[in-house]
Amino acid sequence: MPEQAVMDIHQILKQLPHRYPILLVDRVLSLTKGERIVAIKNVTINEPFFTGHFPHRPVMPGVLILEAMAQAAALLSFATEGVTPDDKTVYYFAGIDGARFKRPVEPGDQLTMEVSLERSKASIYKFKGVTRVGDEVACEAELMCTMRRIA
């Protein structure tokens, strides 16, 4: 399948319900439906979590790196299924396996998240995600997510 056009922040905002300070995808560099997505997150000192994590040495919390990968995975799922989520669609974490943090992420870093769809069944999706800063792996994990309709 050919790769789709890049998604900018305006297109991302139409797909994801997240907003500041929890929207953690700034741009999609490539997306191949049913296969993989490559997205970026620019990390700046202005992020609210840096005031407390840690004041003397700012480090992005690992759970937020995982959340950023899950948001990229959601964009891949929506494109694969050909759906645009609405107020009645939620996309949840269902599990995280094998999460490993290889290097700290600091202000000024740019995260490149590559998330591949391993399989999907009955609205449950399993992904393999790797986040890098430059050529260095910052985080890797297997993510399971589910898309649900709410009343």
- For the chain, the C-alpha Rg in angstroms (whole number) is 15
Q: Is 53 part of the annotated catalytic residue set?
A: yes
User: Which of 10, 18, 53, 56 does the annotation list as catalytic?
Assistant: 53
Token match 């645009």: residue?
84
Pairing of the two strands 89-101 and 124-133: unpaired
- CA–CA gap between residue 42 and residue 26 (Å, rounded): 7
Dihedral (CA of 112, 8, 107, 66) sign: negative
The residues annotated as belonging to the active site are 53
